[in-house]
Amino acid sequence: MSDAAVSMTWEEYQALGQDVRGEYIDGTLVVIPPPDKFHQRAARRLANQLEEACRERAEVQVQCGWKPAADEFVPDIMVVPPNEQVASFTGTPYLLVEILSSNRSDDLVRKASKYALLGAPRYWILDPRDMTLIAFELRHVAYQEVSRVTGGATANLDFGVGVVEVCPSALFG
């Protein structure tokens, strides 16, 4: 099942309520199919590691809204300042993580360029097909790859408020 897009206004999108699984990008609702168990396992494991590494310095959110401007994204994992009391985060997250699924170009191109233009300092892509985690950091207005970890290899990655050791095969395995 692939993602579907439906044109609508922000007001129409908001009227759909919290039960809609999708994002609001460029004036469209992008409906996202439910993630499989491998996607969910990797998200949970990585979120737990990030949470342990940052302690009280930040909050780790899984599939929560980020509304920095006209769009509203739902990254798989987002690390934000602690104690945010809003339904959708509107500030600048320390880290955004997307786990690739059926529509790889959205995460690799569309979201990456939007996240960079919005000033998100770190963006990680976790690829279940290639068992790879690619870490990007914002340099001027574009992301530059700073690390690529594949299979059973490990790397210590800085995410702004902590450092975490990651191993892609352990996240998915």
Q: What is the mean pLDDT of the chain?
A: 88
CATH of domain 34-172: 3.90.1570.10
Measured CA to CA, the distance from residue 147 to residue 134 in angstroms comes to: 6
pLDDT tops 80 at residue 73: yes
Q: How confident is the model at residue 84 (pLDDT cuts 50, 70, 90)?
A: low
Instruction: Report which secondary-structure segment, H or E, holds 88.
Output: none
pLDDT tops 80 at residue 107: no
Q: What is the pLDDT of residues 46-65, one digit of tens each?
A: 999 999 999 889 999 998 88
Report pLDDT for 148. 97
**Which pTM does this prediction carry?**
0.88
**Mean pLDDT, to the nearest integer, of 24-32?**
81
pLDDT tops 90 at residue 85: no
- Domain boundaries of the chain, sorted by first residue: 34-172
Q: How confident is the model at residue 1 (pLDDT cuts 50, 70, 90)?
A: very low
State the Cα angle at 170 between 126 and 54, rounded to 5°.
Answer: 70
Q: What is the pLDDT of residues 109-156, one digit of tens each?
A: 788 899 999 999 999 999 999 999 999 999 988 999 999 999 999 999
Report pLDDT for 5. 75
Q: Which of 161, 158, 105, 114 is nearest to 136 (CA)?
A: 158
**Mean pLDDT, to the nearest integer, of 68-76?**
90
Measured CA to CA, the distance from residue 6 to residue 133 in angstroms comes to: 31
State the Cα angle at 168 between 47 and 52, rounded to 5°.
Answer: 30
